[in-house]
């Protein structure tokens, strides 16, 4: 087995990204040298070590930096410039400084309008078309500039493998591969271009990332994703090579003690843990609480929607049964969840990406010994029914969430049986130690 020097690209915050941490730590544990390159978007710490691998964060480019990098692109990387002209001519057309300043002003105005008062008052679709496109072009310039910086930093490290997490780093990976002639791994955590509803994205943004993925996939040597439905989607949509599905299952060392299954509280606890973002169904859950009288609801996490969710909960007729718990570290999530009875996955099916959702929290709830209550989506439906570990609902149907939860709560024996089956399935099958050998074997095949 050859030792690899791997550079991973990850633009989410790695300390809070269970999948990236899991894969990086797995490779580091067998002796590979792993450096995860990201940006200082959420953390100002330039370098740190975690679970045997390094994290290095690069400064985010300013609008001026991005414009200057794009101006240099035809000379610095003719291949990337030609690709950009093919995918999005509007983005490749970096002209004079006056045009740049106009686009920068459009981006700034839109940013201020959408953040005014903590709420959206001028969504992208409501801006005049030239302003909206100018704002989008400036945003894409910055995204491209980040990729150029990542590639430059990776080349200096001379890796033997480059590993891209999500589409927003794949251009950087291809540039490194072309420069160093090393294998390229692409791990698609989601359908990046389909992560928003059609009325919440621009056509330019969508066509840019769809076109980029279609063309860059041909340069990848190993393609990973998180579930079978996504694997089939990528293979079918792009006529790409095979994708391998590696589920987001936690390590067995995090499994909750089976003693948590023995308690039966008088009032059951229903938990959501994760980020508080739009379209997670959290508003719908809070609206359902008054109609689920035999439970208390706990929301643990952080995110942009937290102030609005707290305000909504405070106005609820059942405010006394809604609690917001402080966030905990990734490795503490399962232990903290083990005091609950039911775990919520209430995603709204607002985009194609959500249709195939199989989130980390689904398996974390199982490992904590919770029954699961999830939106009736293809992957969560299949596991919930096959393992008999919970209930499904339509969060957009009036009374749908309450009816599903009340049905589960009304049968305590069934609820506890779901909890036991979930815990047992996590203990025997749905844990990283079962997936790890397959992941390492895939890496060993890279040349």
pLDDT tens, 299-329?
999 999 999 999 999 999 999 999 999 999 9
| Secondary structure of residue 68 in the 3-state scheme | helix
| Secondary structure of residue 104 in the 3-state scheme | helix
Place of tokens 């540039």: 175
Instruction: Note the pLDDT of residue 103.
Output: 56
Give percent above pLDDT 70 in the chain: 91
Per-residue pLDDT tens over the stretch 361-395: 999 999 999 999 999 999 999 999 999 999 999 99
Q: Which residue has the higher pLDDT, 264 or 192?
A: 192
| Secondary structure of residue 443 in the 3-state scheme | helix
Round the average pLDDT of the chain to a whole number and report it.
91
Looking only at the bridges linking them, the beta strands covering 390-393 and 268-275 are unpaired
Is 253-428 CATH 3.30.750.24?
no
Question: Nearest-CA neighbor of 48 among 58, 38, 56?
Answer: 56
Question: Nearest-CA neighbor of 104 among 116, 118, 94?
Answer: 94
The Cα–Cα gap between 306 and 153 comes to 35
Per-residue pLDDT tens over the stretch 115-156: 444 444 344 445 555 556 777 888 899 999 999 999 999 999
Residue 207, Cβ density class (10 Å: 0-12 exposed, 13-18 middle, ≥19 buried): middle
Q: Which residue has the higher pLDDT, 377 or 113?
A: 377
The Cα–Cα gap between 390 and 233 comes to 27
Q: CATH 3.40.50.2000 in the chain: give the residue spans.
A: 14-92+134-245, 253-428
Residue 82 has pLDDT above 70, yes or no: yes
pTM above 0.85, yes or no: yes
Residue 275 has pLDDT above 80, yes or no: yes
CA 246 to each of CA 9, 233, 295, 439: distance values in angstroms, whole numbers, following the listed order: 18, 15, 34, 8
Residue 353 has pLDDT above 50, yes or no: yes
Residues 260-265, mean pLDDT to the nearest whole number? 90
State the DSSP H helix or E strand holding residue 245, giving kind and residue range, or none if neither: strand 244-245
Is 14-92+134-245 CATH 3.40.50.2000?
yes
Instruction: Note the pLDDT of residue 401.
Output: 98
Residues 337-357, mean pLDDT to the nearest whole number? 95
């Amino acid at each position: 087995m050859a030792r690899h020097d791997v550079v991973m690209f990850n633009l989410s915050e790695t300390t809070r990204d269970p999948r990236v941490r899991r894969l990086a730590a797995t490779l580091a544990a067998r002796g590979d040298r792993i450096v995860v390159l990201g940006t200082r978007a959420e953390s100002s710490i330039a370098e740190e070590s975690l679970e045997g691998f390094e994290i290095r964060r690069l400064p985010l480019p300013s609008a001026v930096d991005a414009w200057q990098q794009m101006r240099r692109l035809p000379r610095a990387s003719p291949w990337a410039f030609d690709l950009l002209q093919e995918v999005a001519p509007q983005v490749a057309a970096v002209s004079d400084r006056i045009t740049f300043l106009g686009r920068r002003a459009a981006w700034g105005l839109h940013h201020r309008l959408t953040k005014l008062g903590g709420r959206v008052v001028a969504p992208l679709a409501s801006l005049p078309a030239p302003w909206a496109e100018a704002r989008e072009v400036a945003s894409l310039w910055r995204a491209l500039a980040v990729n150029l910086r990542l590639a430059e930093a990776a080349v200096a490290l001379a890796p033997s493998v480059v590993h891209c997490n999500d589409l927003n780093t794949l251009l950087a990976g291809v540039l490194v591969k072309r420069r160093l002639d090393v294998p390229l791994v692409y791990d698609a955590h989601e359908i990046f271009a389909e992560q928003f509803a059609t009325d919440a994205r621009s056509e330019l943004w969508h066509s840019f990332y769809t076109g980029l993925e279609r063309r860059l996939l041909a340069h990848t040597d190993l393609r990973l994703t998180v579930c079978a439905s996504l694997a089939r989607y990528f293979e079918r949509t792009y006529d790409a090579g095979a994708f391998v599905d590696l589920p987001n299952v936690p390590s067995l060392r995090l499994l909750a003690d089976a003693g948590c299954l023995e308690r039966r509280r008088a009032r059951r606890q229903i938990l959501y843990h994760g980020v508080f973002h739009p379209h997670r169904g959290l508003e719908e859950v809070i609206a359902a609480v008054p109609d689920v009288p035999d439970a208390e609801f706990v929301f643990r996490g952080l995110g942009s929607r937290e102030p609005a969710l707290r305000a909504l909960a405070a106005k609820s007729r059942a405010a006394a049964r809604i609690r917001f718990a402080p966030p905990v570290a990734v490795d503490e999530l399962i232990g903290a969840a083990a005091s609950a009875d039911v775990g919520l996955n209430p995603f709204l099916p607002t985009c194609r990406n959500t249709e195939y959702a199989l989130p980390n929290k689904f398996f974390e709830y199982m490992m904590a010994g919770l029954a699961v209550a999830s939106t009736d989506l293809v992957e969560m439906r299949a596991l919930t029914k096959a393992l008999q570990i919970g209930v499904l609902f339509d969060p957009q149907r009036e009374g749908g969430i309450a009816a599903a939860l009340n049905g589960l709560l009304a049968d305590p024996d069934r609820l506890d049986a779901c909890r036991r089956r979930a815990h047992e399935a996590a203990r025997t099958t749905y844990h990283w130690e079962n997936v790890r050998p397959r992941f390492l074997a895939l890496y060993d095949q890279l040349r």
